[in-house]
Amino acid sequence: MRIANTLSTDLCRRPIAPTALWPLLVTLITVVATQAQALTPRELVEAAMEQWRGSNSYSEMTMTIHRPSWQRTMSMRSWTEGQKQSLVRITAPKKDRGNGTLVKDTAMWTFAPKINRIIKIPSSMMSQGWMGSDFSSRDISKGTDILDSYNHSLSATDNRDGHTVYTVTSIPLEDAAVVWGKEVLIIRDDYVLLEQQFWDQDGLLVKTLKATEIQQLQGRPVATVLHMEKVDSGGQWTEMRVDSIDFDVSLPRNLFTLSNLRNPREQ
């Protein structure tokens, strides 16, 4: 589903007199809010996924893993195409450089240069911590399988900072290969995912992902800092910072392949 953002792009590109800015911003907010109200709960989730991924994207990110006795930082590059393909590759520090994760449709592989092996990840392990972080492999790959593996319902609507905010509760289908008992997504009317909660099969909240910074990038609002923390973690958390991102870019044809996962050829 393509979310129209012509008006927002136009606002970013054309010089606008200060006296004319407020009416145009009010119009933009009204149009976006009206679009959001017309969407079903599943479409709201899909719009939030597309807001983050675009039709395709390239981003550079920094991950900080914090524990009470230590902290480490990794730099990485990420590519996405559509809803089913993504590639993440670590670029620093040197000891982790080259580690990568590839997703195609519902399959996932990782490459570890130290052992020079590509390993296919079973679905039962996709929710485990990625590189020792609080983000799972599915989180890192910006996976969108929540769209078709869950039933989605609107459980609350409220207003925050001038935006309408929707709470969508997603319950897994009976035969879905997922570990969570439910996920709760809090989505702003401009499709920014403000929060995502992960609940276990016993109805207990396990961890929460929160957008702690939001910036306007390439004509769209983007959550540029994401904070993942488990309940009662004792000061353990992981933060993902988007250093740069480009949407709707041209990507090499061989990018999302096992060959490229092992031997990088992307620019």
**pLDDT 10s digits, 226-235:** 999 999 888 8
Quote the DSSP letter at residue 133: S
Residue 82's pLDDT is what? Answer: 85
Which domains, from first to last, does the chain contain? 6-262 (2.50.20.10)
Which pLDDT band holds residue 125 (cuts at 50, 70, 90)?
confident
- The C-alpha angle 71, 74, 75, rounded to 5 degrees, equals 150
Rounded to whole angstroms, how far apart are CA atoms 149 and 161?
A: 32
Which pLDDT band holds residue 3 (cuts at 50, 70, 90)?
very low
Q: What predicted TM-score, i.e. pTM, was given to this entire model? A: 0.81
Q: What is the DSSP string of 1-52?
A: -PPP-HHHHHHHHS---HHHHHHHHHHHHHHHHHHHHTS-HHHHHHHHHHHH
Rounded to whole angstroms, how far apart are CA atoms 202 and 197?
A: 14
Residue range 234-254: average pLDDT? 92
